[in-house]
Structure 1
Amino acid sequence: METHPRNSSFSSCSAYLRALAHTPARVSRRALSVSTSYEEMSRVRAKSGSDMRKTLRWYDLVCFGIGGMVGAGVFVTTGHASRLNAGPAIVISYAIAGLCALLSAFCYTEFAVDMPVAGGAFSYLRVTFGEFAAFLTGSNLIMEYVMSNAAVARGFASYFGTAIGVPTAKWRLKVDGLPDGFNEIDVLAVAVVLVITFVICYSTRESSVVNMILTVLHILFIAFVILMGFWKGDPKNFTEPGDPKNPSGFFPYGAKGVFNGAAMVYLSYIGYDAVSTMAEEVKNPVKDIPIGVSGSVIIVTVLYCLMAASMSMLMPYDMVV
């Protein structure tokens, strides 16, 4: 149904004030109201406009999931968790975190197959806990993706500057009046976000191709690290620290350290949930979504465990900077 501009809450100042006055009543009426899967599939989808084109298959979803999880920051997380928490047992930490991510992925798969809509966790909570819980979750997800994308883009800018030998300060604009640490705009990071946004908005099919290319590059880089670790690494580093005064053995900090490490590296798995938001664009949701969500988590878990093992062999855990 088409909404006329004159009926919008933002059509005029008086209309906005009237809508603002009605907000408490609307919140009390809708906060605990629960939607149904039928409404999400019909009425809510109809309000969003034209239907999305169903162009994605299971391999697209696997690549989206891997691309959403795998990033250069995983190397920083691995070293930090290994040195402070798990030691060489960081391999077990990644396996535990991967199992937890897989169990969560099963939940997303169940909902996405039952309701193949683009709402993701927002829609799932609308039919279970009501609109208020869905609103809070949706807001948190938006903040999560905004901040994580900004951090990744800025990290890319730093890596790129180091690779070409140019200080990142040369392309950062300083804004006077803001606190230190929050007063610099990274022009390259902003450009990266805008380019990726344009690719995503242009077409799902084209963005899937770009994601596949970037995912392949990520996997090749991780495979290179794994190969070098098993080829050039020393298995003694699994049990012997660089400094004899530090705890030794495969579990230098015990079971507590392994689980603390798992909690830290779990951040490396964040991103698989985004696959469920593409359910509305999948050709065969019943078949493709389970393979796409669960398959991407399993593949990434294997890659992370092998990478953690190779990094542990390359250098003693207590010498990681």
Structure 2
Amino acid sequence: MDVMKDQCSSFSSLGAYGRAVRDIPQRLQTRMWAVWTPNEELDRIKERSGGEMQRKLGWCDVMALGVGGMVGAGILVTTGSAARLYAGPSVIVAYVVAGFSALLSAFCYTEFAVDMPIAGGAFSYLQITFGEFAAFLTGANLMMEYVISNAAVARSFTCYLAAAFGVVSADEWRFKANGVSEGSSVQLDFLALAILIILTIFLCYSTKDSSIFNMVVTLVHLAFIVFIIIAGFAKGNISNLSQPGLPADPGGFFPYGAKGVFNGAAIVYFSYIGYDAVTTLAEEVKDPERNLPVGVLGSVIIVTILYCLMAAAICMLVPYDMVRALSLSVSLCLSLARARERTHMPLLWV
């Protein structure tokens, strides 16, 4: 069966689409385990996609996009819970373990991306290894992952912007949805929607220009992280890396042992999500055999170093068992203000 012909004809008309829906059981039976060859994925998908993509991205662009994709809300929401509940000060080692795991996964992604420099990403890689059905499930999961994660980040932007303008609750900038059940908390966030639309239009305009924008925003974000690192090493107390705030809690750098380190690594691995998306730029990268591995692997290494330093700074600012947080903005300001006095003030996470 000519898969490409079937896919094109299914959407040629309303009647053809109806026949395709009717033939789903038969197609599922014959194509569930159908595996594409690398040549089909490289040539026929490009032929169907239309015009050739322009290769304008270098290794520095790939690295900046990788760092920008990983450095985000993850570091701000996982460090506190991982340190307080699982690893203690050894959350620093947990970031190393998670970073090493991400690096191994990045090796796999770059290997596929170099052999097949196309924009399909994990969908294409699975289509030539496990077949169409596995690729379909993975593609659907990736779509859901990006939709949900991007919606959550966009919604949090409303909270940060509202706080910047002195608004007590970001709900004041949202609208309650009509027609939902009584007592439901469903709200419409038009500011988050506007941010997504603007960024989508900017991304569709030019990948090269959007990579420059991403680089600028990433540098600002890195400046914030560097500030936390400097403040933590300058104002923090190194004894907090071994002494808990409450005598009843276990002490030492590994208060929960090796199990705590690996449990913490499982939590903080969320902070590394994003490096895999960079491989979908393979068709837009100059000399992908060189620039893709350097960009992807370099970004994972840079982010791992930054995360470890930031985790060390946070653990020196306050004892691990006094952390009550899942975010950093207000708590870091409070802990910095008290650092000179060396008081064990709990972090108030927002």
Q: Give TM-score scaled by structure 2 length.
A: 0.87
Gaps of 5+ in 2: 325-350
Residue type at the aligned position of 1:188: L
Following the alignment from structure 2 to structure 1, what is the Cα–Cα distance between the partners of residues 179 and 300? 44
Matched, 1:75 2:76: yes
Equivalent position of 2:27 in the other structure: 26
Secondary structure of 2:163's counterpart equals helix
Following the alignment from structure 1 to structure 2, what is the Cα–Cα distance between the partners of residues 182 and 99? 40
The Cα shift of 1:196 comes to 1.1
C-alpha distance after superposition, 1:121-161 (max 9, x if no partner): 00000110001000000000000001011111112221222
Following the alignment from structure 1 to structure 2, what is the Cα–Cα distance between the partners of residues 216 and 63? 9
Q: Tell whether the 8 Å contact from 2:74 to 2:272 is kept in structure 1 after alignment.
A: no
Secondary structure of 1:67's counterpart equals helix
Equivalent position of 1:35 in the other structure: 36
Residue type at the aligned position of 1:80: S
Following the alignment from structure 2 to structure 1, what is the Cα–Cα distance between the partners of residues 309 and 127? 39
Equivalent position of 2:304 in the other structure: 301
Secondary structure of 2:188's counterpart equals strand
Q: Following superposition of structure 1 onto structure 2, how do residues 136-285 of structure 1 map, counting pairs within 5 Å?
A: 136-166=137-167, 167-178=169-180, 182-285=185-288
- Same amino acid, percent of matched pairs: 58
Gaps of 5+ in 1: none
Residue type at the aligned position of 1:168: A
Q: CA RMSD in A?
A: 1.7
Which structure is higher in RCO with an 8 Å CA cutoff and minimum separation 6? 1
The Cα shift of 1:31 comes to 1.2
How many residue pairs were aligned?
317
Change (3 A) 1:207 1:181: farther
Change (3 A) 1:253 1:125: same
Displaced runs of 4+ in structure 1, greater than 4 A?
179-182
The Cα shift of 1:10 comes to 6.4
Further displaced range: 181-190 or 114-123 = 181-190
Residue type at the aligned position of 1:290: P
Further displaced range: 245-254 or 228-237 = 245-254
Matched, 1:52 2:53: yes
Residue type at the aligned position of 1:316: P
Residue type at the aligned position of 1:187: F
Equivalent position of 1:317 in the other structure: 320
Following the alignment from structure 2 to structure 1, what is the Cα–Cα distance between the partners of residues 221 and 301? 16
Following the alignment from structure 1 to structure 2, what is the Cα–Cα distance between the partners of residues 43 and 187? 40
Q: Give TM-score scaled by structure 1 length.
A: 0.95
The Cα shift of 1:317 comes to 0.7
